[in-house]
């Protein structure tokens, strides 16, 4: 926007540009992209044109827009938006493939975890989230603190208490305390 140009004049200039280039850009994109994606790519192209309206060659305030002067530059913008859309589509496809390959079939004799889920259901929302971040996502208390907004010390306390409540709920068969044996890792000299 030039210093003398008002917001209304800027809008009028953009509308004149859109009037001159929208249909040719639409046709250009129809020849190069899936019909389902054309409208999205065109809207992205027009957004870029709005942001860079001062960069459009031969586009001046108050004058008629010459499509032959502005279209080549606008085609370049549309090509860039089309390339971005293709890259994004490729990333989505690769992610879908990875997720499909990562899904493992559940074995026929899968363990029944209904007791565990019931015990998790007795915990408060924040305690359950702390336990799940620790157990399923493998996060350390410092990382859980960052994700939840708690302090690392508060996470450690919540995790300890929640694990103790879960153990009581599940009535652990092995009453031994978890952790290392005192003799573990020492030589027998």
Q: Express each pLDDT in 93-116 by its tens digit.
A: 999 888 887 766 656 556 677 888
More confident position, 123 or 110 = 123
Please tell me the distance from the alpha carbon of residue 80 to that of residue 85, in angstroms, as a whole number: 9
Q: Where are the domains of the chain?
A: 7-102, 114-170
Give the model confidence (pLDDT) of 52-70 as tens digits.
Answer: 999 998 887 667 888 888 9
Residue 173 banded pLDDT, cuts 50, 70, 90? very low
Nearest to 66 by CA among 129, 3, 19: 19
**Contact, 9 vs 62, CB < 8 A?**
yes
Predicted confidence at residue 154, as pLDDT, reads 95
Give the model confidence (pLDDT) of 142-169 as tens digits.
Answer: 988 888 889 999 999 999 999 999 888 8
What pTM was computed for the model? 0.53
Overall fold of domain 114-170: Arc Repressor Mutant, subunit A (1.10.10)
Q: Cβ contacts of residue 155 below 8 Å, gap of 6+?
A: 130, 141, 142, 144, 145, 148
**Contact, 61 vs 2, CB < 8 A?**
yes
Which CATH architecture group holds 7-102? Orthogonal Bundle (1.10)
């Amino acid at each position: 926007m030039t210093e003398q140009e008002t917001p209304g004049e800027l809008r009028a200039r953009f509308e004149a540009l859109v009037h001159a280039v929208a249909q040719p850009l639409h046709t250009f994109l129809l020849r190069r992209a899936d019909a389902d994606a054309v409208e999205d790519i065109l809207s992205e192209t027009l957004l870029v044109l709005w942001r860079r309206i001062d960069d459009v060659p031969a586009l001046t305030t108050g004058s008629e827009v010459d499509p032959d002067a502005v279209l080549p530059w606008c085609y370049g913008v549309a090509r860039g938006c089309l390339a971005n859309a293709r890259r994004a589509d490729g990333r989505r496809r690769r992610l879908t493939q990875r997720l499909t390959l990562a899904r493992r079939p559940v074995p026929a004799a899968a363990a029944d975890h209904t007791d565990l889920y019931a015990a998790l259901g007795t915990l408060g929302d924040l305690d359950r989230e702390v336990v799940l971040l620790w157990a399923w996502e493998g996060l350390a208390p410092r990382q859980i603190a960052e994700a939840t907004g708690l302090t690392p010390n508060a996470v450690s306390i919540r995790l300890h208490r929640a694990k103790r409540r879960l153990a009581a709920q599940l009535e652990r068969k092995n009453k031994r305390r978890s952790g290392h044996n005192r003799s573990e890792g020492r030589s027998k000299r």
